[in-house]
């Protein structure tokens, strides 16, 4: 099936672009000896886990269901971190996960004996055999780590995604660790985990590492592994790979530990798109195109971050042009802007979803032609944080999930319908 034959809306993941990202990640692994895991929270299209497993060491999870998905569908290293674990879920987590990372001293103290005992089972089985993997010095059992907060924020304007923001619930500060854990208990930890980045370059990692070493350096020599977490935009064109490799080698050689990275976005960055159709065009001071894709349901980060997703063959009008369009003072009947404010003819539309939410708006876009009902639009970089965050508000159907092969042929991996809406209620 070709792309123009697909029903809309749909997510289309492009195998060639995914492989390109995976090749970059594989080269980092090979040149530094680090372990790289897929952070499933960003991309959980398990149809592609066999392919991803050819390049990466395994997967990491934020909860039981993600852990089970990585265990069943990738079957390699399987890690988990949660701010707090449910007691009834820990036995299943122990069966499936090699590394269990705790968020606080209290969580570590609550579960550490249970985790250690898993390697001393009385049923004649070796606890390390369940996943077929044995990493991080946890032979015969499971490896335990503590998420640390180096109190080093390198982000600007996105406190919602900043684990080092004031009053953050994520990670343990040095002061908290020293106050709540004895030296003997700290020595029971196998590793430290920190995750402070979001869509950032390796210079911010280097800054963070300096803070980690300054605060926690005396304990790093006791560890078997250090996990750099996620947020590394490793496959972005301007990413400084050499500095990343330098950071990895420095930690490995200085502290004699294994180093882990958990990229999510970097695995499928720019490797997918969402195809949508224009259903209707209305005019209320500006042209508004109503699509069959919803910001609220199909790309919730647009409203949550917020951000404006890139759109093929369209561009962002500048503020002056948008004001003119809304006021209508220089807008032609066909919706175009012209004259000195636009620098030529262009057509500006507000793209919006079909739900009842008044704010279900994707953004304002400029085109070189007037849009028509039935026309298809292609939003870019739609593989990450989309499929994993969709919802069925208003009974909206979920987009099909499609894999575009390297030959351009499309395979429909998953479709959805009424029962998917009804079964959740």
Beta-ladder partners of 367:
347
| Locus of tokens 């009804």 | 422
pLDDT in tens, 243-265: 999 999 999 999 999 999 999 99
Q: What is the mean pLDDT of residues 224-236?
A: 98
Residue 160 has a pLDDT of 86
CA of residue 113 relative to chain centroid, distance:
32
Percent of the chain surpassing pLDDT 70: 89
Q: What is the mean pLDDT of residues 120-125?
A: 45
- Dihedral angle, C-alpha 392, 394, 397, 399, nearest 10 °: -60
Q: Give the model's confidence band at 123: pLDDT under 50 very low, under 70 low, under 90 confident, else very high.
A: very low
Q: DSSP class of residue 318?
A: P
Note the pTM of the prediction, 2 decimals.
Answer: 0.91
Residue 129 has a pLDDT of 37
Spatial distance between the Cα atoms of 263 and 239, rounded to a whole number of angstroms? 13
Residue 141 has a pLDDT of 74
DSSP 350-379: EEE-SSS-TT-EEEEEEESS---TT-EEEE
Q: What is the mean pLDDT of residues 40-44?
A: 98
Q: Give the model's confidence band at 329: pLDDT under 50 very low, under 70 low, under 90 confident, else very high.
A: very low
The phi, psi pair for 289, rounded to 5°, reads -100, 120
| Locus of tokens 């570590």 | 108
Q: Give the model's confidence band at 126: pLDDT under 50 very low, under 70 low, under 90 confident, else very high.
A: very low
Q: What number of residues does the chain have?
A: 425
The phi, psi pair for 287, rounded to 5°, reads -75, 130
Q: Is the pLDDT of residue 120 over 60?
A: no
Residue 336 has a pLDDT of 56
Q: DSSP class of residue 402?
A: E
Picking from 379, 42, 421, 402, the residue whose alpha carbon sits closest to that of residue 230 is 42
Spatial distance between the Cα atoms of 7 and 189, rounded to a whole number of angstroms? 51
């Amino acid at each position: 099936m070709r792309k123009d034959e697909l029903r809309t809306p749909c997510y289309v993941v492009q195998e060639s672009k995914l492989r390109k990202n995976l090749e970059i990640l594989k080269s980092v692994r090979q040149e530094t000896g680090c372990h790289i895991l897929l952070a499933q929270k960003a991309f959980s299209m398990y149809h592609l886990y066999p392919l991803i497993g050819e390049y990466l060491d395994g997967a990491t999870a934020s909860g039981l269901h993600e852990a089970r998905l990585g265990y069943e569908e990738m079957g390699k290293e399987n890690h988990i971190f949660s701010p707090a674990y449910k007691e009834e879920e820990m036995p299943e987590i122990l069966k499936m996960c090699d590394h269990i990372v705790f968020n606080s001293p209290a969580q570590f103290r609550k579960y550490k004996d249970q985790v250690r005992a898993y390697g001393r089972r009385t049923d004649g089985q070796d606890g390390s055999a369940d996943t077929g993997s044995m990493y991080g010095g946890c032979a015969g059992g499971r490896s335990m780590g503590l998420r640390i907060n180096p109190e080093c924020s390198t982000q600007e304007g996105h406190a919602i995604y900043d684990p080092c923001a004031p009053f953050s619930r994520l990670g343990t500060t040095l002061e908290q660790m020293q106050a709540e854990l004895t030296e003997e208990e700290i020595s029971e930890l196998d590793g430290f985990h920190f995750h402070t980045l979001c869509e950032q370059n390796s210079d911010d990692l280097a800054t963070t590492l300096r803070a980690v070493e300054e605060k926690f350096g005396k304990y790093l020599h006791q560890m078997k592994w250090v996990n750099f977490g996620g947020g590394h935009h490793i496959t972005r064109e301007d990413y400084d790979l050499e500095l990343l490799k330098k950071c990895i080698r420095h930690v490995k050689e200085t502290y004699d530990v294994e180093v882990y990275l958990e990229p999510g976005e970097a695995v499928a960055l720019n490797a997918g798109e969402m195809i949508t159709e224009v259903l209707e065009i209305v005019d209320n001071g500006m042209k508004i195109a109503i699509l069959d894709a919803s910001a609220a349901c199909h790309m919730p980060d647009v409203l949550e971050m917020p951000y404006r997703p890139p759109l093929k063959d369209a561009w962002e009008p500048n503020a002056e042009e948008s004001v003119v369009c809304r006021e209508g003072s220089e807008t032609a009947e066909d919706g175009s802007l012209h004259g000195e404010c636009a620098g030529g003819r262009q057509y500006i539309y507000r793209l919006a979803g079909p739900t009842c939410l008044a704010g279900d708006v994707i953004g304002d876009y400029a085109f070189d032609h007037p849009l028509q009902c039935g026309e298809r639009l292609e939003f870019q970089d739609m593989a990450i944080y989309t499929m994993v965050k969709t919802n069925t508000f208003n009974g909206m159907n979920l987009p099909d999930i499609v894999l575009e092969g390297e030959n351009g042929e499309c395979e429909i991996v998953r479709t959805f319908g009424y029962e998917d809406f009804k079964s959740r209620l």
